[in-house]
Amino acid sequence: MSTIQTLTDAGLAKAQITGGELPVHSPIDGSEIARVSQTPLADLPQILDRAEAAFHVWRNVPAPRRGELVRLLGEELRAGKEALGAVVTLEAGKITSEGLGEVQEMIDICDFAVGLSRQLYGLTIASERPGHRMMETWHPLGPTAVITAFNFPVAVWSWNTALALVCGNPVIWKPSEKSPLTAMASMAALHRALERFGDAPEGLVQLVIGGPEIGDGLVTSPRVPLVSATGSTRMGRIVAPKVAERFGRSILELGGNNAMIVAPSADLDMAVRAIVFSAVGTAGQRCTSLRRLIVHEDIRAGLVEKLKTAYASLPIGDPRESGTLVGPLIDMEARDRMLAALDQARAEDGTVHGGEAVEAVAGGAYVSPALVEMPGQSAIVETETFAPILYVMGYQTLDEAIALQNGVPQGLSACIFTRDLREAETFVSAAGADCGIINVNIGPSGAEIGGAFGGEKETGGGRESGSDAWKGYMRRATNTINYSDELPLAQGVKFDI
C-alpha cells in the first residue's frame, strides 16, 4: 500500500500532508512522507480563547453526557483501527501488531472513561459539629495541555484526553514534531465523533503542531491550569519549574530505567520470553522497556546463554513485513546514541553481544539488540538510553538485588521473576522496589489501562490512565453544610458576640 493511500485511509486529505513547512520522515527508510503546516505562535491566544470558551460550556454538561462523546470516539477508533495502526507503523516504526495494539489502548481507555463518567464521586465525611454535613465534590479544572512523545504517538494522548473530557476539561494537544501525522489522523476520528455527538462547543479539542516554542507557550500560560507532558527527564526539568512558577499543575511522565530481578526459583523459560519482549519490543523505545537485568549468580551464566540464542534469532527489518519483531529506531541520531552508549559500556568493562548497525532497509536506522554483561551498575547503566540495550548484572542476596534495582535516578517500572512467595511479597512491599509500577512474574513493559500509570523520582511522579488518576484532572472542594439552627465553631472555639 502506498504512503498516500495509508494516510488517506486514516482520514487525512492530500492537502493536509503536502505543502507545509514541517517535513515528516518515516523511520522505516528515512524517506520524507509528508510536509505539514505548523501552528503559528501568534495563533496561540486565539486557541486559548477557544479553549476557555469551550470550558465554560463543557463544565456544565452532565458528566455522563460528556462520556457519550468519548464512547463515540471509541466507536470511531474501532472502525478505523487498521488504518490508524498502519499510520503508527509508518510514522513511529512499530511492527504491525504493536501499531494495532496502540490503537487498542485508545479504545480501551475510551471504554474505561465512559464508565468513569458516572463515577466521579466524592466522600461524605463525619463532621465534629452537630447539625452539619461535610462532603467532597470534584469539579472540572480547565483547559488541559497534552504534550506527547513520538514513541507512543496516540495512546498517551488518548489516556489524557478521554479522562480530561469526561472530567469536563477542553484539551490542547501538542504532539512530537516527529509524529504529527498520527495526531492528525486521531483528530480526524475525533471530529467524526464530534459530528455524531452534535452539540459540543467549538474548541473542545484542538491540535497544535510545532516545536519547543509552541510547547513553551502552553507550559507558561496561566490560562492552562494543567499540563500533562510525556518525554525525557531533560524535558521534565524544563517543564516542571515553569508550570510550578505560575502555580499550575503538571502530570509528568518522564524517563524509565527499568529492571528485572531473576531469582534462582524463577521459571526461566517464561522469564526469557518476558525479557526479550520487554527489552527489544518497540526497538527498546518504550519508557517501560527493560534496560537492566539483575540475575542471581547461580543462574546467571545459563540465562545469558539462553538470551544470546534468543537475540540471535530475532527478525530485524521492515515493521510492515509479517514476522518482523524488531523495527527501526526513530532516526539516525537515536542509532548513534545507542552505539555511543555501547562504546561507553565497553570502556566500563562491559562485554557487548550484538548491538551492530544493520542494513535491513536502506535509509532506516536499524540495529541488532544488544545484550551487555556488566561487572556492576556503572554510570552508563544508570543512564537511560532509548534503544534496545539490556545490561546484565549478578547478585547474591535479595537485599543486594533490590538495592541495585533502586540505585538509579529513575523510578518507573520494576519486576521480579520468582516462585518464592516471601521474595515476591518483599519486592512489592515498602522495603522493596521504589517504582510506580511493580510486577511479579511479568515484565516491566505493557501496562494495562485499568491501573494508574506513572513513576517516582526522575520519572516525574505523574499518574495517567486508570485507578483514580482522574483526580489529577479535577479540582477538589470540601463543603460543609449547616442544617441546624446553631452556629458552633470547629475545635470548640468560642466567639460569642
The string of pLDDT tens digits covering residues 6-20 is 999 999 988 899 889
Q: What is the per-residue pLDDT for 19? A: 83
Is pLDDT above 80 for 135?
yes
Sign of the four-CA dihedral 259, 354, 333, 106: negative
Question: Looking at residues 314-337, what average pLDDT do you find?
Answer: 97
Q: Which of the four pLDDT bands, split at 50, 70 and 90, describes residue 1?
A: confident
Q: What is the per-residue pLDDT for 11? A: 94
Q: What is the per-residue pLDDT for 496? A: 86
Count of C-beta atoms within a 10 Å radius of residue 420: 15
- Cα–Cα distance, 66 to 64 (Å, whole number): 5
Rounded to 10 deg, the angle between the 96-116 and 155-166 helix axes is 10
With beta carbons less than 8 A apart as the criterion, state whether 28 and 327 touch.
yes
Q: What is the per-residue pLDDT for 50? A: 98
With beta carbons less than 8 A apart as the criterion, state whether 22 and 36 touch.
yes
Question: Looking at residues 74-92, what average pLDDT do you find?
Answer: 98
What is the grid cell recorded at 265? 526459583
Is pLDDT above 90 for 278?
yes
What is the grid cell recorded at 47? 486557541
Question: Looking at residues 466-475, what average pLDDT do you find?
Answer: 98
Active site residue 435: no
With beta carbons less than 8 A apart as the criterion, state whether 164 and 472 touch.
no
Q: What is the per-residue pLDDT for 39? A: 97
The torsion region of residue 295 among left (phi > 0), alpha (psi -120 to 50) and beta comes to beta
Question: Looking at residues 38-43, what average pLDDT do you find?
Answer: 97
Is pLDDT above 80 for 308?
yes
- Cα–Cα distance, 218 to 172 (Å, whole number): 9
Q: Which of the four pLDDT bands, split at 50, 70 and 90, describes residue 497?
A: confident
- Cα–Cα distance, 210 to 52 (Å, whole number): 21
With beta carbons less than 8 A apart as the criterion, state whether 105 and 148 touch.
no
Antiparallel, parallel or unpaired: β 474-482 and 132-140: antiparallel
pTM over 0.85: yes
Beta strands in 126-233 (DSSP E): 132-140, 144-147, 171-174, 205-207, 226-230
The torsion region of residue 3 among left (phi > 0), alpha (psi -120 to 50) and beta comes to alpha
- Cα–Cα distance, 406 to 396 (Å, whole number): 16
Active site residue 253: yes
Find the angle CA(437)-CA(443)-CA(449) to the nearest 5 degrees. Answer: 50
What is the grid cell recorded at 342? 555501547
The values of phi and psi at residue 460, to 5°, are 115, -20
With beta carbons less than 8 A apart as the criterion, state whether 390 and 236 touch.
no
Question: Looking at residues 343-354, what average pLDDT do you find?
Answer: 98
Is pLDDT above 90 for 2?
no
Is pLDDT above 80 for 175?
yes
Count of C-beta atoms within a 10 Å radius of residue 101: 17
Is pLDDT above 90 for 446?
no
Share of the chain above pLDDT 70, in %: 100
Q: Tens of pLDDT along 233-259?
A: 999 999 999 999 999 999 999 999 999
Q: Which residue has the cell 522493596?
A: 432
Q: What is the per-residue pLDDT for 165? A: 98
Taking the CA atoms of the chain, what radius of gyration do you get in angstroms? 24
* Cα–Cα separations (whole angstroms), residue 312 to 138, 305, 323: 53, 11, 15
Instruction: Say how far residue 201 (Cα) sits from the centre of its chain.
Output: 28
The values of phi and psi at residue 296, to 5°, are -60, 135
Is pLDDT above 90 for 187?
yes
Beta strands in 76-212 (DSSP E): 124-125, 132-140, 144-147, 171-174, 205-207
Catalytic choice (98, 102, 177, 253): 253
Average pLDDT, the chain: 97
Q: What is the per-residue pLDDT for 305? A: 98
- Which residue, 261, 325, 340, is CA-closest to 293? 261
Residue 211 is classified by DSSP as S
Question: Looking at residues 196-216, what average pLDDT do you find?
Answer: 97
Rounded to 10 deg, the angle between the 233-245 and 212-220 helix axes is 40
- Cα–Cα distance, 235 to 176 (Å, whole number): 12
* Cα–Cα separations (whole angstroms), residue 207 to 148, 199, 413: 12, 20, 30
> On the CB side of 497, how many CA atoms lie within 13 Å of its CA?
1
What is the grid cell recorded at 203? 474548541
Catalytic choice (91, 102, 177, 287): 287
> On the CB side of 232, how many CA atoms lie within 13 Å of its CA?
9
Beta bridge partners, 440, equal 416
Residue 143 is classified by DSSP as -
